[in-house]
Chain A
Amino acid sequence: KAGVTQTPRYLIKTRGQQVTLSCSPISGHRSVSWYQQTPGQGLQFLFEYFSETQRNKGNFPGRFSGRQFSNSRSEMNVSTLELGDSALYLCASSLAGTGSSYEQYFGPGTRLTVT
């Protein structure tokens, strides 16, 4: 089975721009979660999508948004980029439904640099 794929792998943007990152989950996985990893804050949960609905949300400003398509692929968008948004953005997929918690499998990440 193919793993989680993320595109693009690297991205350089300028302050004020917006960016869209894409994630394709493992086949059959319906849950997709997004995380931001920075040296200072570590790994922080952004949001989770399950069956095209946002099911959980972390403590990030509204500039961070996402969506999930009917094939479970997900995108996240960051508008009005700030220097502090420079980070590794990780996507993870799992079988998570309701009533349990399954292991998440992570993609290689998108390294975003904001200048």
Chain B
Amino acid sequence: AQKVTQAQTEISVVEKEDVTLDCVYETRDTTYYLFWYKQPPSGELVFLIRRNSFDEQNEISGRYSWNFQKSTSSFNFTITASQVVDSAVYFCALSGTYNQGGKLIFGQGTELSVKP
């Protein structure tokens, strides 16, 4: 069975602090995909990144970076120099391939609060 665990339910930081959101996944598939989504207070899920299981390179996009480690089944997300606009709920998700691509398994989410 596939499962995604985000152990941090809530995180509160002060603006300009760095923050890391943890994501641990379980799957028996050898090929799979990992995602991060952001859900601001408006409610709409916003896609942030997709990573396939064969690509363990870390990725950086502006203040965002992702660390994928197959050895520990983790796909962590770091926000550098956090800003108030980063306040949202962040979801990590997993999907299989072939005909399972349209089914995302989400973690419970981490609510990030960035205070000025």
A residues contacting B by CB (< 8 A) are: 31-33, 35, 42-45, 48, 50, 55-56, 58, 88, 90, 92, 94, 96-109
Shortest C-beta distance, A47 to chain B (Å), equals: 9
User: Within residues 81 to 116 of chain B, which ones have a CB less than 8 A from any CB in chain A?
Assistant: 91, 95-109
Shortest C-beta distance, A88 to chain B (Å), equals: 7
A98 touches B98 (CB 8 A): yes
The answer to whether residues A108 and B102 also contact, given A101-B33, A101-B96 and a CB cut-off of 8 A, is: no
B102 touches A50 (CB 8 A): yes
A108 vs B44: C-alpha distance when bound (angstroms): 5
A101 touches B43 (CB 8 A): no
Shortest C-beta distance, B51 to chain A (Å), equals: 10
Q: Does B50 contact A (CB under 8 A)?
A: yes
The answer to whether residues A45 and B104 also contact, given A101-B96, A102-B50 and a CB cut-off of 8 A, is: yes
Q: Does B7 contact A (CB under 8 A)?
A: no
The answer to whether residues A33 and B43 also contact, given A42-B109, A101-B97 and a CB cut-off of 8 A, is: no
B43 touches A109 (CB 8 A): yes
A45 touches B103 (CB 8 A): yes
B37, B44, B96, B97: most-surrounded residue (chain A CB, <10 A): B44
